[in-house]
Amino acid sequence: MRRIAQLRERFEELQSHGLDVLVVLCQKRDNVATWLEKHPLPFPILIDDDRSRAKRWGVYVPLSYDAIHIARPATFIVDAAGIVRYARISRQQMDPAPFEEIVAVAGADDRGHSGS
């Protein structure tokens, strides 16, 4: 949940670049609810406890050298038209997309679509 705490800390910055944040967690609903009671968030959480969305987005891993039945950390930037403008699927659990990279992509997307 460390990455979610980082997103919470930088939420206003991400919004200032025109990004909305949605977190998809492949965890048990009760565990997430308990955590959220202690750590409220300014953005929505989608619980994917059956991993169906993780499978659809190509981030589900049934078996790897470091885990079983997990979703790899992934970051997607999807524009208002539903087009994926950025995708990063990490190979390891502790390798999230760098914030600077996310902000840079969001800024480039803003410049490329201004005046549309």
pLDDT one-digit tens code per residue, 6-35 = 899 999 999 998 899 999 999 999 999 999
The superfamily (CATH) of domain 2-111 is Glutaredoxin (3.40.30.10)
Q: Are strands 60-63 and 68-71 parallel, antiparallel or unpaired?
A: antiparallel
CA 86 to CA 109: how far, in whole Å? 10
Q: Enter the pTM of the model.
A: 0.78
pLDDT greater than 90 at residue 76 = yes
Q: State CA 72 to chain mean position distance.
A: 10
Read off the pLDDT of each residue in 95-103 and give the average, rounded to a whole number: 89
